[in-house]
Structure 1
Amino acid sequence: MSWSFDNTKPIYLQIMEKIKLQIVSHELEPNQQLPTVRDLASEAGVNPNTIQRALSDLEREGFVYSKRTTGRFVTEDLDLILQSRKQLSEEQLQQFVSCMLQFGYKKKNCQMY
């Protein structure tokens, strides 16, 4: 089954976000091997080059690392994972508050949710 993507941002960025979310939520554990580029591309329904770009950028950011003969793995850097979880949580919270304000709620009302 293909992953769903929106047309508002590049697919490789959406793939990066999905994998980061899997890492910070521990769906993917530290040192866990990732599926191959070909397998991820098939699962996501995208070109392998798109997956390759997303994984290369994740590697540059430190979320994954490569072992030449065995593939890519999730980082062991728990500080990076925790920091990213906090950052993603704050971004989601800001988006929620922004939407609630657009609906006419006051900031103090948003605290109830």
Structure 2
Amino acid sequence: MYPYLQITSVIRATILRGKYVLGQQMPPIRTLAEMEKCNPATVQKALKILEKQGLIVSRGSKGYFVTESEKKIIELRNLHLNRLTKILFEKLYELGFSDTEIIKMFEEYVATKNK
């Protein structure tokens, strides 16, 4: 995977987890580059992708800000969830698990997680 795509994924997950709230200013590009141990140009490329996805907005010299649209955050979280769920189920089916076994695994996981 290209480094800018990895950075895009990390920043997207951070936003979707709620570390940055709606409308909050993102750290400067140089700070993000230091945090991710990469070149500022790589972060810039990642931010442009996130901007195209509507997750962040550029305010010129003021920097990048998380979208103020809660609807957009929910939409992107659900999109991400659907992709991950599809991948998980495909892998479980490849391993030969049945629907019944998968449901049981989820039930057991939830039961142990809530203890």
TM-score by length of 2: 0.83
Q: How far 1:47 sits from its partner (Å)?
A: 0.9
Is 1:107 the counterpart of 2:103 in the alignment? Answer: no
Larger Rg: 2
Q: How far 1:15 sits from its partner (Å)?
A: 1.2
Match for 1:75 among 67, 76, 80?
67
What corresponds to 1:13 in structure 2? 5
Contact 1:97 1:107 in 2 (8 A): no
What corresponds to 2:90 in structure 1? 98
Q: How far 1:18 sits from its partner (Å)?
A: 1.5
Normalized per residue, the structure richer in helix is 2
What corresponds to 2:80 in structure 1? 88
Task: Name the Cα RMSD after superposition.
Answer: 1.3
TM-score by length of 1: 0.84
For these two proteins, the number of residue pairs brought into alignment is 105
Distance (Å, rounded) in 1 between the aligned partners of 2:72 and 2:4? 21
Letter of the 1:103 counterpart: L
Q: Mind listing any 5+ residue stretches in structure 1 that lack a counterpart? A: 1-8
Contact 1:12 1:53 in 2 (8 A): yes
1:57-95 deviation digits (Å, cap 9, x = unpaired): 211221111222321110011111101111111111112
Q: Mind listing any 5+ residue stretches in structure 2 that lack a counterpart? A: 107-115
